[in-house]
Amino acid sequence: MLRKALCVFAGLSFAVFLLAASERKNDDPAFAQIDSIVKSLSEITGLTEKHPVTSGRMSKRQLRSFLGKRIKKTLKPDEIYADEISLKLFGLVPQNFDLKKSTIDLLTEQAAAFYDYDERKLFMLEGSSFAAETTTLAHELSHALADQYFDLNKFMEESPSNDDENLAHTAVVEGQASWLMIAFELKQNGQPPVPTPEMIKNVADSSETSMADYPVLKGSPLYIQQSLLFPYSEGTVFFDAVYKKMGKAAFAAVFTDPPVDSSQIMHPDMYFRHVKPTKPALPAVQLDDKTKEVTDGSVGEFDHSIMLRQYIGEKPAAAFSGHLLGGQFQVLAHTKAKRPILLYSSEWDSDQQAAAFFLAYQKILRGKWRHCDPTVDTPTTFKGSGDNGYFLTHLAGNLVTSVEGVENESDLPHESLQTHSR
């Protein structure tokens, strides 16, 4: 759905990468371990180090300053606005949510170590314990080693074609590094460097329990929380599945033949079967030439899972897992309109599943708005007015579409609207 602001710092939940800090000191005991850690990682992966990894330290104050500059340099104000307004239109964050400030607050709170894909340098924040630094270094050096072979900057920022694919790539990077961190610790203890199922499960479970140590993260909207946690929890489980099937070849395969959406991360069998998302056509609306596009993109399984968890509950939401074929959205704005318009479409693997989601989406609409006043409520059409204007949500076979926020009811599509995959 959106991840531009978050993906400027992709993988920054518990490890942050950046550009400027003090240079590595030769007498720093943490950095003295780098060569031996890289050697162990190379033995596990079969990827030999091409050149030494440079490193340094920095303070929290330096980090916060950098994050602000990085956003300003990388993202235009209209891109931040597009991300923020999309989240608000889908009801995933409150109307007063400040995406830029929240992103900086979150990443500053959680930073422990970081690998900068641009400068290809590893940094650690000041004040960490030696034991914690050893484990963190194994994670970050996994990034550094992968970067020497697969150009993580390009992999993260240039190759994804949409937001959901970007999330999948982030899960590859962080999931592999998290898996290798466990494997490294096992090797250090003289055990086979292959995490057990219990260890993998603990990684997935610990992402939720760890929020107690991060009050900013804990107080964030569910979507923001899970966008940051997903690459570590689900990414580790995904990589473990690929490793079990491919062995050492997995360390290269997830980069050379990467997953294309969050569904492939959440359901590795879809990755092995190369199941790609569809692109259902958006509903057509007749608007004048003063209506311009603000943003558009994909709405993947991860996005749907969070919407459903937030508005109908975690257990009911689980019934939709793996049934989404694809989703798209577009945000439009009129020069004289008070609010933007949301166009949305999703395609499901059966008419029955689409019908179930059509009912669930009605609950989402009622939940995200202060008032939702339907004038038509049939098995295939839900129409009326909400907080941001008139809406029409429609079920047609295995497709669910919605138009939300038009100022005039006459601008809504005909209720017999049909869409198709493209």
Q: Is residue 70 part of a domain?
A: yes
What is residue 177's predicted lDDT score, i.e. its pLDDT?
A: 96
Residue 284 neighbours by CB distance under 10 Å:
14
Helix (H, G, I), strand (E, B) or coil at 54: strand
Q: What's the token pair of residue 97?
A: 């949510």
Per DSSP, what are the bridge partners of residue 296?
Answer: 330
3-class SS string, 244-284: HHHHHHHHHHHHHCCCCCHHHHHCHHHHHCCCCCCCECCCC
Question: Which pLDDT score is estimated for 6?
Answer: 57
User: Among 235, 229, 244, which residue's Cα sits nearest to residue 197?
Assistant: 244
- Residue 117 is predicted with a pLDDT of 81
374-382's contacts with Cβ under 8 Å and 24+ in sequence apart are 376/415, 379/355, 381/415, 382/358
The string of pLDDT tens digits covering residues 117-141 is 877 888 888 766 555 678 889 999 9
Determine the structural domain holding residue 337 and report its residue range: 291-411
Q: Same domain for 259 and 330?
A: no
Both 139 and 252 in a single domain? yes
CB atoms within 10 A of CB 93: 19
| Domain assignment of residue 280, yes or no | no
CB within 8 A of 71, min separation 6: which ones?
A: 5, 8, 80, 100, 103, 104
Rounded Cα distance between 47 and 149, Å, is 8
* pLDDT score, position 418: 43
Q: Of 187 and 103, which is predicted with more confidence?
A: 187
| The predicted structure's pLDDT at residue 390 | 95
The whole-chain average pLDDT of the chain stands at 87
Return the number of other C-beta atoms located less than 10 Å from residue 289's C-beta. Answer: 6
Give 214-255 pLDDT, tens digit per residue.
888 889 999 999 998 999 999 999 999 999 999 999 999 999
Distance CA 219, CA 225 (A): 9
Find the angle CA(331)-CA(348)-CA(380) to the nearest 5 degrees: 75
Same domain, 249 and 295: no
Give domain status of residue 416, yes or no.
Answer: no
| Domain shared by 248 and 304, yes or no | no
Residue 418 resides in a domain: no
Same domain for 242 and 310: no
Residues 370 and 307 in one domain: yes
**160 and 248 co-located in one domain:** yes
Q: Which of 175-179, 208-212, 228-232, 403-407 has the lowest mean pLDDT?
A: 208-212
Quote the percentage of the chain above a pLDDT of 70. 88
The reply to whether 351 and 257 lie within a common domain is no
The verdict on residue 281 lying in a domain is no
**How far apart, in Å, are the Cα atoms of 387 and each of 4, 91, 293, 368, 404?**
26, 11, 21, 9, 10
CA angle (281, 405, 408) in 5-degree steps: 105
What is the pLDDT, as a whole number, of residue 121?
84
CATH of residue 395's domain is 3.40.1000
Residue 410: its pLDDT value, please?
87
- What are the residue ranges of helices labelled H in 25-162? 34-45, 60-74, 77-89, 99-110, 130-150, 152-157
Structure token digits, residue 309: 């968890």
The total number of structural domains in the chain stands at 2
Of 238, 272, 306, the residue at which a domain comes to its end is 272
Closest C-alpha among 313, 391, 410, 301 to residue 89: 391
Q: First CA to last CA across the chain, in angstroms?
A: 18
Burial class (CB in 10 A: 0-12, 13-18, 19+), 39: exposed
Let me know if residue 419 belongs to a domain.
Answer: no
pLDDT for position 17: 28
pLDDT digits (tens, 9 = 90+) for 145-169: 999 999 998 998 876 778 899 999 9
* Residue bearing the bigger pLDDT, 291 or 376: 376
Last residue of a domain, one of 220, 243, 272: 272
Asked which of 48-62, 89-103, 173-187, 314-328 is least confident by mean pLDDT, the reply is: 48-62
Task: Judge whether 372 and 120 are in contact, CB under 8 Å.
Answer: no
Same domain, yes or no, for 311 and 253?
Answer: no
Say if 283 falls within a structural domain.
no
Q: Examine the fold and report which residue of 220, 239, 272 is the final residue of a domain before the chain moves on.
A: 272
Residues 34 and 151 in one domain: yes
CB atoms within 10 A of CB 225: 20
Average of per-residue pLDDT across 308-314: 97
63 and 201 assigned to the same domain: yes
Are 228 and 320 within one domain?
A: no
Given a cut of 70, whether residue 25 has pLDDT beyond it is no
| pLDDT band at residue 3 using 50, 70 and 90 as cut-offs | low
With 80 as the cut, is the pLDDT of residue 338 above it?
A: no
Q: Greater confidence, 381 or 416?
A: 381
> pLDDT tens-digit profile of 398-419?
999 999 999 889 889 876 444 4
**C-alpha closest to that of 152 among 173, 136, 138, 177:** 173
Q: Are 421 and 280 in contact (CB under 8 A)?
A: yes
Residue 265 lies in a domain: yes
Kindly indicate the confidence band of residue 193, based on its pLDDT and cuts at 50, 70 and 90. Answer: very high
How confident is the model at residue 32, as a pLDDT? 86
